[in-house]
Amino acid sequence: MVLPLLSPTRRDSGLLNLLAGGGVLAVLLAVLTWDGLRDVVAALTGLSMARGEMLSLLALLAIAGLIAQLGRRIWTMIPHTRFSAEERRILRALPQALARGEIQPHFQPVVDADTGQVVAVEALARWIKADGSILPPGQFIGLAERAGLIRLLTKGIMEHAVRTAAAWRTHDLDIPISINLSVEDLEASDLVDHLIALCDRHGVPHAAIRVELTETQSIVHFDVVDRAVATLRQAGMAVYLDDFGTGYASLSVLHRIPFTGIKLDQSFIRRLRDDPRADAIVRASVAIARDLGLALVAEGVEDSETRDRLGQLGVSHIQGYVYARAMPAHDIVDFARQTQPALTLSL
């Protein structure tokens, strides 16, 4: 491809060769990475300088660079290159579903195994269809992240969660609600300020809302996430590192970002009963949390045997089917009433 550029035998045909070769070169360069493109530009510029054709070559390469960038942008904008037909159908329906309030959180209790009381709840997104069927988050959260719609979704869940916290408080139910945030939520938007303002608008104390940060292996801008977490904590919100132990960078993330607590990943909890290695990992995590002064929640606890073993290891805050699955807001009121009989609640 580069040969016509480098081997014109006559001076007057050099420019023609250059143009012909440049067309092919433009296409070739369109598939190169930007770094690769820069290397090629540097090499060819050096060669062409020696031939006194630098200006025309540079012009061609500049065009090639633009084509490469434009091509990549258009490629990623064409939905059928990234999403299956089913995924495109979900994505088309998502903004409308959010606007209609069809995507809303259910709430799963975190229970203190020592007292049996609900100490927090986690807001977990559910897409409730018009026919009453429920789509779990696994079918639309990752998709929303890939399509750049996660912030819209997070805002919707935040709004529901803060309103729910406000409603519960009017009935003397003071249980912190955890909201799941993706790294992208913290890295590239004003969502933190939005969450704080939302609480203020609804008269919800900041401590009534917590944040769980998921997918931390994809943190690119540590400084931005660090600042966002610090802002949340200064505002009085607890921030948990979710799925602790799964990302290869869990420890480094814990080291660099000032979390309030960690949520031990379900994969260890599920194997706790019959896998000594899972037991060792949980023990080590408990030690880390204790030494760093972090709160600890174990999630995915399905049976009393696992809950009791966690108790022996010093973990008392338990989330899992052993107590309850995620449920609508008004069912939490009944659930809390059963575990805290002193409350006289009605919604």
Site residues for ligand C2E per CB under 6 A? 108, 124-125, 136-138, 141, 154, 157, 180, 182, 212, 214, 242-243, 299-302, 319-321, 326
Least distance from C-beta 178 to Ca ion, angstroms? 7
Least distance from C-beta 108 to ligand C2E, angstroms? 6
Nearest residue relative to Ca ion (C-beta): 212
Q: What, of Ca ion, ligand C2E, none, does residue 341 touch, CB below 5 to 8 Å by kind?
A: none
Would you put residue 116 in left (φ > 0), alpha (ψ -120 to 50) or beta?
Answer: left
For Ca ion, the binding residues in 164-193 under the rule CB under 5 A are 180
Three-class HEC string of the chain: CCHHHHCCCCCCCHHHHHHHHHHHHHHHHHCCCHHHHHHHHHHHHHHHHHHCCHHHHHHHHHHHHHHHHHHHHHHHHCHHHCCCHHHHHHHHHHHHHHHCCCEEEEEEEEEECCCCEEEEEEEEEEEECCCCCEECHHHCHHHHHHCCCHHHHHHHHHHHHHHHHHHHHHCCCCCCEEEEEEHHHHHCCCHHHHHHHHHHHCCCCHHHEEEEEECHHHCCCHHHHHHHHHHHHHCCCCEEEEEECCCCCHHHHHHHCCCCEEEECHHHHHHCCCCHHHHHHHHHHHHHHHHHCCEEEEECCCCHHHHHHHHHCCCCEEECCCCCCCECHHHHHHHHHHHCCCCCCCC
The residue among 29 and 118 lying less far from Ca ion, judged by its C-beta, is: 118
Least distance from C-beta 153 to ligand C2E, angstroms? 7
Stretch that binds Ca ion, among 111-119, 135-143, 240-248, 276-284 (CB under 5 A): 240-248
Total residues in contact with Ca ion, by rule CB under 5 A? 4
Radius of gyration for the chain, computed over Cα atoms and rounded to the nearest angstrom: 27
The residue among 34 and 321 lying less far from ligand C2E, judged by its C-beta, is: 321
Task: Confirm if 109 and 121 have CB atoms less than 8 A apart.
Answer: yes
- Indicate the length of the chain as a whole number: 347
Q: What, of Ca ion, ligand C2E, none, does residue 17 touch, CB below 5 to 8 Å by kind?
A: none
Q: What, of Ca ion, ligand C2E, none, does residue 306 touch, CB below 5 to 8 Å by kind?
A: none
Q: Does 215 bind Ca ion (CB under 5 A)?
A: no
Q: Candidates 184, 212, 241, 324: give the one binding Ca ion (CB under 5 A).
A: 212
Spacing of C-alpha 59 from chain mean position:
42
Least distance from C-beta 205 to ligand C2E, angstroms? 21
Nearest residue relative to ligand C2E (C-beta): 320
Least distance from C-beta 210 to ligand C2E, angstroms? 12
Task: Confirm if 40 and 29 have CB atoms less than 8 A apart.
Answer: yes
Point out which residues pair with 108 in neighbouring strands.
Answer: 122
Q: What, of Ca ion, ligand C2E, none, does residue 222 touch, CB below 5 to 8 Å by kind?
A: none
The residue among 48 and 216 lying less far from ligand C2E, judged by its C-beta, is: 216
Q: What, of Ca ion, ligand C2E, none, does residue 182 touch, CB below 5 to 8 Å by kind?
A: ligand C2E
The residue among 18 and 239 lying less far from ligand C2E, judged by its C-beta, is: 239
Task: Confirm if 18 and 47 have CB atoms less than 8 A apart.
Answer: no
Least distance from C-beta 158 to ligand C2E, angstroms? 9
The residue among 159 and 243 lying less far from Ca ion, judged by its C-beta, is: 243
Least distance from C-beta 263 to Ca ion, angstroms? 5
Least distance from C-beta 302 to ligand C2E, angstroms? 4
The residue among 198 and 326 lying less far from ligand C2E, judged by its C-beta, is: 326
Q: Does 243 bind Ca ion (CB under 5 A)?
A: yes
Residues that bind Ca ion (CB under 5 A): 180, 212, 242-243
